[in-house]
Amino acid sequence: MAGEPRVRGGTLSRTDGLFRLCAETPPLSEQLSFLLGEEPPDILRTLTDEQRRAVEHGEGPLLIVAGAGTGKTHVLTARIVHLITAKRAKPHEILAVTFTEKAAAAMQARVDLYTPMGLNDAVITTFHGLGDQIVREFALELGRSGELRVLSQAEQTILVREHLYGCAQCGIGLPLRRYRPAGDPLQYVRALLDLFGRARDEDVSAEDYVEHARALRAASGTATDPAAAADEAESQEELAAVYAAYTALKERHGVVDFGDQIALSLRLLRERPAAARRLQNRYRYVLVDEFQDTNDSQFKLLRLLVDPHRNITVVGDDDQSIFAWRGATLANFDAFGEGFPERTVVTLVENRRSRQGILDAAYRLIQKNPDRLEARLGIDKRLRGRPSGDELEVDHLQFTSSALEAEEVAERIARERLARRRRYGDFAILVRNNADATPFLNALAKRRIPTHFSGGGQLYERDEIRLLISFLSAVALPTDSRHVYHLAVSSLYGFPPGELARATESGGRRQKPLRDVFEEIARGEGSYGGAARAAAQTLVADLAYYEQRAAELTTAELLYDFLDRSKLLARYLEPDSA
């Protein structure tokens, strides 16, 4: 966009008197002049007329409908700066919420640049960061410990696996029947956790789910097909009971997951008026980026936070919503209009990223979507691109298979590079999801075209990385049964699932760490089979060996020793292991 700070290297950003390196940075000359004591640059000079209207908006709710490449994040940043420099709000009275930590850091860096030294205490965070802050600050009001630990996806799975067959010591079991098949008792664990997470995204508590299941059971007798209705009611009753048990398990262990951070914050604002008033008075201006990706629970949290003053600014674009699977919904735009009928709507359509031909082609395609804000709000979202005398045509090609498509793309890249003296880095391929990239990577590799694949998935969710983290944790924290369990159930040790459940239950009943139970099994105690005893002996011996080595090696050296000695390194380096 015109006048927007350019990206170059890194920027020095001021937070709590320290400087940190951030991405999305302004020119070095502006950074240095500011650090040498000169006045910060005027951000209003970087704005178009429509952007300025949004930035200088007064009190009350504001909806900014911002198309792709129209500088929506810059506008949100400029509004924060304007609220501070125009003395309409003190920095600590401003809350800005984004969806990723990277986006929050980038916004923080920009706000730092445009505000006087030491005057930026605005809270810029993610939804889960905000929820975590609220839950920890008001833990006592919520009946929780202030030392809450947030479970990763992997740790959620391990917690459920540990209690798959019940726990005599904690008195909580997962009442699974149809969703714990005998042949593969772990088959539905991840799907169940995803369901519970989605329920919290939709503001459905375990109690709500139980009531829903009861209502289905009550109505099944008068249904058109009573047998099918009764079967569905039974399924929902089981899911509701497991949801309630999982919630109780987390409370029993003093842990939460990501969904709880929003759900508990919502509960606090609904049930504790004094705490709600403190938060509402603290944040007099609330700004939200990527509003199209908010789910129902997040939007309800926002509404409660701004209830008295209604100073909320949301920036979004219904055409860019990508999180419908996570509960994000266009209905939030409708809910915003219903909850804030006095809202002001500003539409940003000046695109500085793409040429007009590309924008027109995209507009023709997106118009096929049946449900868009253009019709609902009576606005024109057609984007205006940067002027160019060399408009490019957009080719639309169809293929009978993904392999043929990938071959043609690879061939075009090779051809264009030679004909137009392009660099390989001039080409980019966008795919719908990571799995769709495979045929393209294969076709490019066949032509020896170098690639950089940036969609390799979340590093810490990969099975091999989770295994390595569990190994290091088990060595450092021998009494942490979750990580020992993860090692035992892995293909590396192959502890039989049924006997592992018995061992876990035995440890819970006697309040013994799983490591101690494995040592008993390794000595031949208990009625465990030969496979379980062999797995326990190997695991116990390995952990003892690596605990001794940990005193002599760095963490990296210890990890390499484990990878090499276990033959995992050779396995991961095999061509088909990725």
Instruction: Please write the tens of the pLDDT for every residue from 250-290.
Output: 988 889 999 999 999 999 999 999 999 999 999 999 999 99
Q: What is the mean pLDDT of residues 408-436?
A: 90
Phi, psi angle pair for 575, to nearest 5°: -55, -35
Q: What is the mean pLDDT of residues 521-546?
A: 93
Cα separation values, 184 from 40, 241, 506, Å: 62, 21, 22
Least confident span in 94-98, 274-278, 439-443, 458-462: 458-462
Q: Using the 8-state DSSP alphabet, how is residue 56 labeled?
A: T
Q: Are strands 350-355 and 312-316 parallel, antiparallel or unpaired?
A: unpaired
Q: What is the mean pLDDT of residues 352-359?
A: 86
437 and 483 within one domain: no
467 and 566 within one domain: yes
Q: Is residue 140 part of a domain?
A: no
Number of domains in the chain: 4
369 and 299 within one domain: yes
* Pair 282, 211: CB distance under 8 Å: no
Three-state SS string over 196-248 comes to HHHHHHCCCCHHHHHHHHHHHHHHHCCCCCHHHHHHHHHHHHHHHHHHHHHHH
Position 160 scores a pLDDT of 86
List, for residues 521-533, the tens digit of each pLDDT value: 999 998 899 999 9
Last residue of a domain, one of 422, 446, 470: 446
- Among residues 433, 205, 425, which one has the least CA distance to residue 300? 205
Q: Is residue 456 part of a domain?
A: no
315 strand-pairing partners = 64
125 and 218 within one domain: no
The CATH code of the domain that includes 508 is 1.10.486.10
Q: Is residue 319 part of a domain?
A: yes
Phi, psi angle pair for 148, to nearest 5°: -60, 140
Comparing 33 with 191, which gets the higher pLDDT? 191
In angstroms, how far is CA 432 from the centroid of its own chain?
A: 18
The CATH code of the domain that includes 354 is 3.40.50.300
Confidence of residue 323 (pLDDT cuts 50, 70, 90): low
List, for residues 143-161, the tens digit of each pLDDT value: 888 778 889 888 888 888 8
Instruction: For residues 577 and 231, give the distance between their C-alpha atoms in angstroms, rounded to a whole number.
Output: 42
Position 461 scores a pLDDT of 66
Identify which of 119-123, 526-530, 567-571 has the greatest average pLDDT: 526-530
Place of tokens 């009971």: 241
Instruction: For residues 290 and 314, give the distance between their C-alpha atoms in angstroms, rounded to a whole number.
Output: 8
**What's the residue count for the chain?**
578
Instruction: For residues 16 and 119, give the distance between their C-alpha atoms in angstroms, rounded to a whole number.
Output: 10
Q: Is residue 2 part of a domain?
A: no
Comparing 456 with 512, which gets the higher pLDDT? 512
Q: Is residue 143 part of a domain?
A: no
Work out the mean pLDDT of the chain and round it to a whole number: 84
Position 530 scores a pLDDT of 92
Confidence of residue 205 (pLDDT cuts 50, 70, 90): very high
469 and 407 within one domain: no
159 and 93 within one domain: no
Last residue of a domain, one of 414, 446, 478: 446
128 and 15 within one domain: yes
345 and 285 within one domain: yes
156 and 128 within one domain: no
Identify which of 63-72, 246-255, 277-286, 554-563 has the greatest average pLDDT: 277-286
Comparing 168 with 149, which gets the higher pLDDT? 149
Position 393 scores a pLDDT of 76
Q: Is residue 320 part of a domain?
A: yes
Q: Is residue 3 part of a domain?
A: no
Least confident span in 5-19, 223-237, 354-368: 5-19
Quote the domain boundaries for residue 520.
462-577
Cα separation values, 424 from 56, 128, 259, 354, 428, Å: 44, 38, 42, 20, 9
Q: Is residue 533 part of a domain?
A: yes
pLDDT of residue 536 exceeding 70:
yes
Q: What is the mean pLDDT of residues 51-61?
A: 95
128 and 18 within one domain: yes
